[in-house]
Amino acid sequence: MARVLLSYYSDYGEAMYDAISDTLRQNGNDIFRLNINCQKVYITKWGGESQVVEESLLADIKRFNPNVVFNFNNCLPINCYAILEESCKICVIDADAPSVAFWNVDAIRKHFNRDFFLGLQSCSKRMYEDFIGFGTELSSKKYLYFPVATVVKNCKLKQDKNISFIGSNFYPLSIPEGEDFYGEVGLQLFDAFKKNYFLTLPQVQKICAGRCSSPEWMMEYVRGYYAGQDRLKYMQQLTDLGFTFYGVRGWNKIAYYDFELAKCFDPTPKTTIEENQWVYNTSKISVNFSHPLARSSFSWRVMDIMASNSCLLMEDKPDWHELFDKYLSQETLETVIYSDRFDMRDKAIRLLNDESLRLRCVKDLNNAIERNGRWELRFRVLGEFLGINFLKLKNNHPTYIIVSRESGKITKSDEGTAKPEEKSSNKLVGDVKLKYRNFKNKYKLMFYLFVCFFAQIPPFSLFYKDRDRVRFLKKINKWWW
């Protein structure tokens, strides 16, 4: 049995970590989730250093005694290493590119011999080696290609949205001061980042060639505006096609630069895996625009879309072809991959006008996910790599502990709801019962499947609002095995 500590940074939705935790927990593993964006962990800045500042949290982690750590972006607080057993296997996972978004830079070099490295992109191995430096070469015993997966299901719901998107607003809302940003050097840096988003400071300094007062400032701002503007250009092509998008980080101020796009924004929070699943299943098409940090790979949401009743529309990425080409027809490959924002618009219009084509693509994408896109497959491979079994364990009362952003520790009950922990923060709250396994829960599943289906049938559908359908879908997802 694995006792898994997940260490990550999140300031809003945690759907990816929900999916990983739920899969592991349903297979009998004990889980301790640590979002370092909380009051119990001190961080110098985003991507800086992290350290636990509350002794009770360190005591809880030590008592939990993990034998595996999933260390996303190397954000595990540096003083946790001293309390972990030597036998504990710490797996660094590149949720973002190491050179841009990793935490605790000195620690990764200090603990290199102890750590394992899991790569979400096919190019991750090389990025790790370049980041660590000193001629590092990761052997097959230290590195594993570990692409993302999904737990989303295809639910036949009323599709009242033509095209949907869930994601962050990368566009900075502050107006840069000074003339450097608006002059020739700013435009040259923009062209340089289009060719290579991962330019280093020395390379930027060479381009600036003494023509600006702060190359580091220019690097941060131009790179940020490039990523933000690129995403907006794609989204603007869809505003007249029934486009609806969701997210946080400044989308509520979208009218600052585009009124037409602002009209497409739905401010309803969509941060959980259940909420994302509802959005995709109620959309005919769901689009993806990956951040430039996804060099060879793609956004985590792609897998979720592929598993739903929505048709994926995404940019061309080599890792996606490596994972799925052999499971997809040529028709699907030519239909769901766009080459630029104008091709994306043309293909969206075609999919909206040709329902038969769209449904064939959805069926094809669903099959590809079942063949090579479920978390159980990833954990089977990871288990062989680490020598630890993650699947089908005989543990009917797995521990599930969460240290959240809001205040600190919460735990999920057997009904799946979050409850604040009592004041004795050193007491581990465990024995959380797995659901789905008895007749009572299967009965509930069948009941809510029937109700959800009933709510789609005219004229009965008039008596149910969208929030009712969301509630039914959450119940179905809760009692599904």
Q: pLDDT tens across 243-276, in order?
A: 999 997 788 888 888 999 999 999 998 888 999 9
Q: For the chain, what percent of residues have pLDDT higher than 90?
A: 62
Q: How many domains does the chain have?
A: 3
Mean pLDDT value across the chain: 87
251 compared with 389, residue with greater pLDDT? 389
Assigned domain for 430 exists: no
Cα 271-274-280 angle, rounded to 5 deg: 85
Q: Are residues 34 and 47 in the same domain?
A: yes
Q: Are 276 and 14 in contact (CB under 8 A)?
A: no
State both tokens at 36.
């370092």
CA distances from 402 to 72, 300, 409 (A): 16, 22, 5
Q: Are 199 and 192 in contact (CB under 8 A)?
A: yes
The gap from C-alpha 341 to its chain's centroid, in whole angstroms, comes to: 23
Cα 370-374-379 angle, rounded to 5 deg: 140
CA atoms within 13 Å, Cβ hemisphere of 142: 13
Q: Are residues 382 and 364 in the same domain?
A: no
* CATH number of the domain within which 222 lies: 3.40.50.2000
Q: Is the sign of the CA dihedral 28, 29, 30, 31 positive or negative?
A: negative
Q: What is the pLDDT of residues 301-334, one digit of tens each?
A: 999 999 999 999 999 999 999 999 999 999 999 9
- Rounded Cα distance, 63 and 48, in Å: 27
Q: Are residues 312 and 449 in the same domain?
A: no
436 compared with 267, residue with greater pLDDT? 267
Per-residue pLDDT at 474: 61
Q: Are residues 366 and 393 in the same domain?
A: no
Q: What is the pLDDT of residues 278-292, one digit of tens each?
A: 999 999 999 999 888
Q: Are residues 138 and 273 in the same domain?
A: no
Mean pLDDT over 115-139 rounds to 91
* CATH number of the domain within which 413 lies: 3.40.50
Per-residue pLDDT at 100: 82
Q: Are 100 and 119 in contact (CB under 8 A)?
A: no
What contacts 345, CB < 8 A, 6 or more positions away? Answer: 237, 238, 241
Q: Are residues 368 and 382 in the same domain?
A: no
Mean pLDDT over 4-21 rounds to 90
Q: Domain range spanning residue 232?
A: 161-372
Phi, then psi, of 420 in degrees rounded to 5 = -65, 145
Residue 315 parent element (H or E): strand 311-315
* Helix residue ranges per DSSP H, 29-156: 55-64, 98-101, 105-110, 124-132
Give the three-state DSSP class for 437. coil
Per-residue pLDDT at 465: 67
* Helix residue ranges per DSSP H, 237-324: 259-262, 273-281, 301-307, 318-324
State both tokens at 184.
């020739």
Q: Are residues 72 and 201 in the same domain?
A: no
Q: Which residue has the tokens 């923060």?
A: 425
DSSP lists the bridge partners of residue 41 as: 52
